[in-house]
A and B are shown apart, each in its own frame.
Chain A
Amino acid sequence: DVKVTQSSRYLVKRTGEKVFLECVQDMDHENMFWYRQDPGLGLRLIYFSYDVKMKEKGDIPEGYSVSREKKERFSLILESASTNQTSMYLCASSLPVPYEQYFGPGTRLTVT
């Protein structure tokens, strides 16, 4: 069974803080993704990575950065958290083929 874990289920941070969200997968997947889910907006892709030290911008990268130093770990960084970054953050991983992505349980981030 593929397992994707995220460092926190719930997180509360203050405006302006630097926030790190960690994601680890145990199935040797090349591809990893970060999404945010907001009511009425579905899943929106923030960043993705097809290999170690490689990253590509998704649809909404502004205000975020990522790091992938090891194959199994993909980190999302909020350089200076803002209230509009309050959201559910979901990490996923996959092989290049087949295309199914496997998701972690999510981190509910609240920025006050």
Chain B
Amino acid sequence: DQQVKQNSPSLSVQEGRISILNCDYTNSMFDYFLWYKKYPAEGPTFLISISSIKDKNEDGRFTVFLNKSAKHLSLHIVPSQPGDSAVYFCAARGGPGANSKLTFGKGITLSVRP
């Protein structure tokens, strides 16, 4: 049973435009959400996170939005740059008692066209 879903396997965006990466979850116990970025042949790197008590967190060109009622979060990248081309994973922490154990989605491949 997939608790974190990234339903679109890929996204292609023009350089300078906005990239919107979506993620849905089913477990209402999730209380913390993270986005990771992964280049080929490298480990994932942490990008941005949001607590379930917030609905928005911003860090430079990256903003994460959380809609708890819809169990949906999204990552916005503005403006998109060719160096943003990578696989993006959404992850969620399982609530009190889960420590730092995360559940990951399957990832979205973002391609930013020059």
Contact = CB atoms under 8 A, between A and B. Distances in A.
Interface residues of B, number: 24
Contacts of A104: 43
B100 A99 contact: yes
B63 to A, nearest CB: 18
Contact of A99 (B9, B34, B42, B43): B34
B19 to A, nearest CB: 19
B42 A106 contact: yes
Given A99-B49, A100-B34, A105-B42, A42 B89 contact: yes
Interface in B5-57: 6, 9, 32, 34, 36, 41-46, 49
Given A99-B100, A100-B34, A40 B106 contact: yes
A101 B47 CA distance: 11
Contact of B101 (A42, A44, A48, A90): A48
B100 A31 contact: yes
A45 B101 contact: yes
A39 B99 CA distance: 27
Nearest to A94: B100
A99 B44 contact: no
Interface of B: 6, 9, 32, 34, 36, 41-46, 49, 89, 91, 93, 99-107
5 nearest A-B residue pairs (beta carbon): A103-B43, A42-B106, A43-B104, A94-B100, A99-B100
Interface of A: 4, 9, 31, 33, 35, 40-45, 48, 50, 90, 92, 94-106, 108
17 contacts: A33-B101, A41-B106, A42-B6, A43-B91, A48-B101, A90-B43, A94-B100, A95-B100, A96-B99, A97-B100, A99-B32, A101-B100, A102-B46, A103-B36, A103-B43, A104-B43, A106-B43
